Amino acid sequence: MFKWNEGSQSAQAAILERPAVTASESIEKQTQAIINDVIANGDNALLEFAKKFDKREQPRLRVPSEEIAQSEDLLEPSLKQAIDLAYSNIKAFHQQQQPVSKKIETAPGVVCELKFEAIDAIGLYVPGGSAPLPSSVLMQGVCAQLSGATTVVLATPVNGNERIHPAILYAAKLCGITTIIESGGAGVIAAMAYGTESVPKVNKVFGPGNSYVTMAKQLLSQSVPGFAIDMPAGPSEVMVIADERANPAFIAADLLSQAEHGRDSQVLLVCNSEEIIALTQQQIELQLEALSRADIARAALENSALILVDDMGQAFDVSAKYGPEHLILQIDQADQYVGLVKNAGSVFVGDYTPESAGDYASGTNHVLPTYGYSKVYSSLNLMDFYRTYTVQSITPSGLVNLSKAILPLADAEGLDAHANAVKVRLENL
Amino acid sequence: MFKWNEGSQSAQAAILERPAVTASESIEKQTQAIINDVIANGDNALLEFAKKFDKREQPRLRVPSEEIAQSEDLLEPSLKQAIDLAYSNIKAFHQQQQPVSKKIETAPGVVCELKFEAIDAIGLYVPGGSAPLPSSVLMQGVCAQLSGATTVVLATPVNGNERIHPAILYAAKLCGITTIIESGGAGVIAAMAYGTESVPKVNKVFGPGNSYVTMAKQLLSQSVPGFAIDMPAGPSEVMVIADERANPAFIAADLLSQAEHGRDSQVLLVCNSEEIIALTQQQIELQLEALSRADIARAALENSALILVDDMGQAFDVSAKYGPEHLILQIDQADQYVGLVKNAGSVFVGDYTPESAGDYASGTNHVLPTYGYSKVYSSLNLMDFYRTYTVQSITPSGLVNLSKAILPLADAEGLDAHANAVKVRLENL
């Protein structure tokens, strides 16, 4: 337990410091080689990677549409209903984010409009690993569907002789995704940035991944004009702010649900009661015993911090300094404290709002800025699938009026031709 | 003149290809050295750079508040009025972009909200050079002012014994900016990313600059957690779509107003009339004679393309392929064609809407995606000064209902602790 008030400023900074995450030069070099291979060999490069990295004997790239169509028949009814309910809530929340053009006559005869267009071609990446991640499909796929993007590509790796889990396919089907590519890692990110025979070229790639995927996204977004990525990646994090009446079992469960994500996960408790902190530690030990991913959670807990503060005001100061990806408020009348929140990715208000609700089904997006980026990056939202542009329309008399601003400014900036573009028009009136 | 229909697909692609813009390794190395110097020596590094690069004998960093306050007394009245009018129009256009929180009950007892907070600390960069750029201050500064950012830093270099032009100071004053730093280049970008004695640390830096500034923004946004930049930089561009009744003098003036920006500017005309293209070429030669920056414009015109198309439909296809930063429509009843626009940064509709209107005073922002990034990046808008986050609040009965989605999904994804965070709560009811 770290007593905030007794720590020096540098000790306070140290307790909130995240472990450095730096990709090695070797990862950069390997990733660049993979990218180059895809540029040179297209589909063939992806097929070779599937054999080599994913141990596929007979790799294929495009999932046949019948497999997508039939996916729900292979699902447990309870899982199908779970996906349906999550989809419905996520869609409702994101639907209300549809952008609306804004038009205004800024001066007589000068009409300006802010308009939105869906980014044409979207790539969604869903990592593989020990378990399928249908929630990751829903969080990205609902946005792509609501934006009306012309092209949506979903890429996910498949290991050995396995097939893509029907939960992934069914989630994709709900989101109207018809192009699913059985390929993972840096290779398929490059394929989406450049396009190959089977993989359509896209303008923006979303989704988490391992360090090669992250590096590929970074390298490609810097080198391919017109190609962008969602946001910088980092280990997942939760901060719980709890008061003296909070339930230690709830706190422990929330900390553990973050800790099981990965060994590099960060979990922090900020609390005004030594007793609650001590009871939470006991609860953590108790609950750990039943977890299948206890090893991972234990490793993550090594990076954890239990911070004792004087009061809730100080707790929110600590939170703003840290900028947590997830912030859970287990405080009496927690909704009264939402106004104090700063620099958080997603906020969970009250004792009955666990992080896992937002991870899956409340409706909010679970793709969130982490690693301190919540001070400047947004949580994933529908606007990330749109771009904004402007339109202006000026009448001749509007231009006469506006020339009083344009001509002196062009003159001050030494740009004759800028002034001339107005003058030739005024002379013509 | 390039006849679109007579060109092969590869010739069509070639005519729209932008010259490669790749920063040399030497620029990367020098920029990194500058960044390291600022990290190690703070203000002193900036003062040394001012002596070395800007030939300042007695460099200073912070502009005294009296100089900002008195700036308007040193301005020509016509220039002051021009800045006032531009400020007013830009403010009106961006004010309507203020974000509004959105709250919805996605399911019974599950309330989710999309909220917005201003990015706390903002850095604005205005390059120096042969002329002051008050318009650049206004385009960035109005947004920072409207967002209510706590900290706004304006940095701009000053050469030799000059002082910052009063137009810069007055534009900053209108935008409520009180922290103005007389320092330029990669050094001051690093100072804003890390903070020095005189330069507050900021979360996001906006504004154009030379290749060192661009490189510093790129390097720092990758290496400093919680630090972001506006958008990738590239040479400025205009495309004019004109029909057979367009005025060649207007077309030429618009092409030249882009060409005078820099030798690397791109100017393209897409037109359905050979005669208009020929007349525009004559007008370009004629107007060039009177321009003070004719050399620069001539160099830029070397990269220009005059493209003959069959009809307006084809013209808009060409435009969507290219994705121009600025798109000018000199077409009969041009407003009927706005729906055909894709992948443009800012659109200028009709014969009396020159690009220079948007550069200075119509109200739209002149910070726009270029180099093909208009396929995926937005024009600068007020939302770039905010971040979005989510808040959810769930009642006990809401959680019971939601558990039907959370538990099967957590199970499918193999995340026990995610399920447990719900179970411990349900057991407590």
- Active-site pick, A72, A325, A355, A366: A325
> Would you say residue B301 has pLDDT above 90?
yes
Q: Give the one of B104, B373, B412 whose C-beta lies nearest to A132's C-beta.
A: B412
Chain A residues with beta carbon closer than 8 angstroms to that of B215: none
> Would you say residue B19 has pLDDT above 90?
no
Lowest mean pLDDT: which of A414-428, B22-36, B187-201?
A: B22-36
* Angle A356-A357-A359 from CA coordinates, rounded to 5°: 55
The response to whether A418 counts as a known ligand-binding position is yes
Residue B96 touches chain A, beta carbons under 8 Å = yes
Tally of CB atoms within 10 A around A389 = 25
Residue B391 has which token pair? 């808040």
Beta-carbon contacts of residue A94 (< 8 Å; ≥ 6 apart):
A142, A143, A146, A363, A365, A381, A382
**A and B: number of Cβ contacts within 8 A:** 452
| Residue B427, pLDDT score | 96
Write the pLDDT tens digit of every residue in A373-391: 999 999 999 999 999 999 9
Chain centre to alpha carbon of residue A299: 24
Which residue is closest to A338 within chain B, CA to CA?
B391
Q: Do A352 and B414 touch (CB under 8 A)?
A: no
Write the pLDDT tens digit of every residue in B56-102: 999 999 999 999 999 999 999 999 999 999 999 999 999 999 999 99
Average pLDDT over residues A209-236: 92
> Would you say residue A207 has pLDDT above 80?
yes
Q: Give the one of B106, B259, B341 whose C-beta lies nearest to A93's C-beta.
A: B106
Chosen from A122, A169, A280, A362 to mutate, greatest number of chain B CBs within 10 A: A362
Q: Do B97 and A81 touch (CB under 8 A)?
A: no
Q: Do B409 and A381 touch (CB under 8 A)?
A: no
The response to whether A261 counts as a known ligand-binding position is yes
Chain A residues with beta carbon closer than 8 angstroms to that of B351: 425
Backbone φ, ψ for residue B413 (5° rounding): -90, 0
Closest CA relative to residue B376, chosen from A119, A144, A145, A118: A119
Q: How near does any CA of chain A get to the CA of B395, in Å?
A: 6
Average pLDDT over residues A49-76: 95
Q: Do B353 and A392 touch (CB under 8 A)?
A: yes
Query: Are the C-beta atoms of residues A307 and A296 closer than 8 Å to each other?
Result: no
Which residue is closest to B76 within chain A, CA to CA?
A408
Write the pLDDT tens digit of every residue in A398-414: 999 999 999 999 999 99
Chain A residues with beta carbon closer than 8 angstroms to that of B423: 253
Q: Give the one of A82, A347, A388 whose C-beta lies nearest to B405's C-beta.
A: A82
Query: Are the C-beta atoms of residues B202 and B151 closer than 8 Å to each other?
Result: yes
Chain B residues with beta carbon closer than 8 angstroms to that of A405: 81-83, 85-86, 89, 360-361
Residue A131 touches chain B, beta carbons under 8 Å = yes
Secondary structure string (H, E, C) spanning chain B: CEEHHHCCHHHHHHHCCCCCCCCCHHHHHHHHHHHHHHHHHCHHHHHHHHHHHHCCCCCCCECCHHHHHCHHHHCCHHHHHHHHHHHHHHHHHHHCCCCCCEEEEEECCEEEEEEEEECCEEEEECCCCCCCCHHHHHHHHHHHHHHCCCEEEEEECCCCCCCCCHHHHHHHHHCCCCEEEECCHHHHHHHHHHCCCCCCCCCEEECCCCHHHHHHHHHHHHHCCCCEECCCCCCCEEEEEECCCCCHHHHHHHHHHHHCCCCCCEEEEEECCHHHHHHHHHHHHHHHCCCCCHHHHHHHHCCCEEEECCCHHHHHHHHHHHCCCEEEEECCCHHHHHHHCCCCCEEEECCCCCHHHHHHCCCCCCCCCCCCHHHCCCCCCHHHHEEEEEEEEECHHHHHHHHHHHHHHHHHCCCHHHHHHHHHHHHCC
| Residue A220, pLDDT score | 96
Q: What percent of chain B has pLDDT over 70?
A: 100
Residue B244 touches chain A, beta carbons under 8 Å = no
Q: Is A52 helix (H, G, I), strand (E, B) or coil?
A: helix
Residue B351 touches chain A, beta carbons under 8 Å = yes
Residues B158, B162, B166, B169: what is their CA dihedral angle, to the nearest 10 degrees? Answer: 30
CA distance B369 to B317: 19
Q: Give the one of B78, B131, B428 whose C-beta lies nearest to A247's C-beta.
A: B428
Write the pLDDT tens digit of every residue in A363-376: 999 999 999 999 99
Q: What pairing do the DSSP bridges indicate for beta strands B102-107 and B110-118?
A: antiparallel
Q: Do B344 and A389 touch (CB under 8 A)?
A: yes
Q: Give the one of B86, B112, B410 whose C-beta lies nearest to A405's C-beta.
A: B86
> Would you say residue A20 has pLDDT above 90?
no
Secondary structure string (H, E, C) spanning A196-209: CCCCCCCCEEECCC
Q: What percent of chain A has pLDDT over 90?
A: 93
Average pLDDT over residues A275-298: 96
Residues B65, B67, B73, B74: what is their CA dihedral angle, to the nearest 10 degrees? Answer: -150
Q: Is A370 helix (H, G, I), strand (E, B) or coil?
A: coil
Chain B residues with beta carbon closer than 8 angstroms to that of A20: none
Chosen from A415, A423, A427, A428 to mutate, greatest number of chain B CBs within 10 A: A415
Average pLDDT over residues A56-67: 95
Q: Give the one of B261, B334, B394 whose C-beta lies nearest to A352's C-beta.
A: B394
| Residue A234, pLDDT score | 86
Write the pLDDT tens digit of every residue in A154-173: 999 999 988 899 999 999 99
Q: Which domains does chain A have, with CATH numbers?
A: 25-101+119-229 (3.40.50.1980), 234-377 (3.40.50.1980), 395-427 (no CATH)
| Residue A303, pLDDT score | 83
Tell me the sheet residues that pair with A112.
Answer: A104, A392
Q: What percent of chain A has pLDDT over 70?
A: 100
Q: What percent of chain B has pLDDT over 90?
A: 93
Question: Given pLDDT bands bounded at 50, 70 and 90, which one contains residue A245?
Answer: very high
Whole-angstrom Cα Rg for chain A: 25
**Residues 190 through 229 of chain B touching chain A, CB cutoff 8 Å:** 203-204, 218, 222, 225-228
| Residue A130, pLDDT score | 67
Query: Are the C-beta atoms of residues A372 and B426 closer than 8 Å to each other?
Result: no
Q: Give the one of A261, A338, A405 whose C-beta lies nearest to B360's C-beta.
A: A405
CA distance A167 to B177: 53
Tell me the sheet residues that pair with A116.
Answer: A388
Residue B101 touches chain A, beta carbons under 8 Å = no
Which residue is closest to A87 within chain B, CA to CA?
B405
Chain A residues with beta carbon closer than 8 angstroms to that of B374: 387, 389
> Would you say residue B399 has pLDDT above 80?
yes
Q: How near does any CA of chain B get to the CA of A105, in Å?
A: 8
Q: Do B260 and A395 touch (CB under 8 A)?
A: no
Any idea which residues of B carry the catalytic annotation? 325-326
CA distance B225 to A371: 7
Q: Do A225 and B379 touch (CB under 8 A)?
A: no
Residue B123 touches chain A, beta carbons under 8 Å = no
| Residue A360, pLDDT score | 97
ipTM: 0.96
Lowest mean pLDDT: which of A21-35, A178-192, B107-121, B370-384?
A: A21-35
- Active-site pick, A94, A326, A355, A366: A326
> Would you say residue B130 has pLDDT above 70?
no
Q: How near does any CA of chain B get to the CA of A57, in Å?
A: 25
| H runs (alpha helix) in A289-335 | 294-301, 312-322
Write the pLDDT tens digit of every residue in B143-165: 999 999 999 999 999 999 888 99
A326 noted as active-site residue: yes
Write the pLDDT tens digit of every residue in B237-247: 999 999 999 99
Query: Are the C-beta atoms of residues A360 and A73 closer than 8 Å to each other?
Result: no
Residue A296 has which token pair? 């991972």
| Residue B21, pLDDT score | 73
Tell me the sheet residues that pair with A181.
Answer: A62, A155
Average pLDDT over residues B5-18: 94
